[in-house]
Chains A and B, each alone.
Chain A
Amino acid sequence: GAVVSQHPSWVICKSGTSVKIECRSLDFQATTMFWYRQFPKQSLMLMATSNEGSKATYEQGVEKDKFLINHASLTLSTLTVTSAHPEDSSFYICSARDMGQGNYEQYFGPGTRLTVT
């Protein structure tokens, strides 16, 4: 089946620094990718929809200047948390949509745990 990878799987950074998380579709092309955030013991909240070659669409309440999303190729989207603060600590999960042959299935990555100290 289709595989979505994320790198790194976990990261610890100091407050004020920026951290980049990569999301890759390994065996399919994804014109659309999604970034979710999950707080402990809570649901996945959609942060933004990332379309290859265009600007991401952010959900209400998500700061686009803080969470920079780049979708430069059909297999890679990146989320950069800028000037990270402890409240940005969370589990970030990406998802990629397979557009091949009219297939609109969506697959999820394993997640990246970010801890800001």
Chain B
Amino acid sequence: AQSVAQPEDQVNVAEGNPLTVKCTYSVSGNPYLFWYVQYPNRGLQFLLKYITGDNLVKGSYGFEAEFNKSQTSFHLKKPSALVSDSALYFCAVRDKWGNRDDKIIFGKGTRLHILP
């Protein structure tokens, strides 16, 4: 069964510094990887996804993620953090795209605090 691990419960970064939120995955087939952000009492907002192609994926709000097959990782990055980036970030995986068993499984989430 597919799974996602986010090893950090919380990440603190000073405003203006680069940020990284870590994610590793485990799938039986090809990985389809996603990052979502959630603000307090709100639903999920899609940030970016990796399906195939270039390992570096660019998404919304200046975020990007790098797919690393050998390390089974999909870390989220941003060159310069903003206070408004403070939120809960979820990594997610699908491994049976279009199959009846196709479903998105989420990591536990990482709370990102950007310090002014």
Shortest CB-to-CB span from B11 to chain A, Å, is: 15
CA distance A46 to B44 in the complex (A): 14
Shortest CB-to-CB span from B101 to chain A, Å, is: 9
Secondary structure at the B interface, as helix, strand, loop or mixed, is: loop
Secondary structure at the A interface, as helix, strand, loop or mixed, is: strand
Segment of A12-20, A66-74, A76-84, A102-110 in the binding face: A102-110
B84 within 8 A of A: no
B43 touches A109 (CB 8 A): yes
B103 touches A34 (CB 8 A): yes
Question: With A104-B97, A104-B98 in contact, do A44 and B106 touch (Cβ < 8 Å)?
Answer: yes
Tell me the chain A residues, 7-60 only, with Cβ under 8 Å from chain B.
34, 36, 42-46, 49
Give the residue name and chain of the A residue nearest to B41 (CB). Answer: A113
Question: With A93-B43, A111-B43 in contact, do A46 and B102 touch (Cβ < 8 Å)?
Answer: no
B109 touches A43 (CB 8 A): yes
Residues of A within 8 A of B41 (CB): 113
B104 touches A34 (CB 8 A): yes
Question: With A108-B44, A111-B43 in contact, do A95 and B104 touch (Cβ < 8 Å)?
Answer: yes
B42 touches A111 (CB 8 A): yes
Number of interface residues, chain A, beta carbon within 8 A = 20
A110 touches B103 (CB 8 A): no
CA distance A102 to B98 in the complex (A): 8
Give the residue name and chain of the B residue nearest to A110 (CB). Answer: B43
- Residues on A close to B: CB < 8 A? 34, 36, 42-46, 49, 93, 95, 97, 102, 104, 106-111, 113
Can you list 15 A-B contacts with CB-CB less than 8 angstroms, sorted by A residue number? A36-B106, A42-B108, A43-B90, A43-B109, A44-B44, A44-B90, A45-B106, A97-B102, A102-B98, A106-B104, A108-B43, A108-B46, A110-B42, A111-B43, A113-B41
The 6 A-B residue pairs with the shortest CB-CB distance, nearest first, are A110-B43, A111-B43, A43-B108, A108-B44, A44-B106, A104-B98
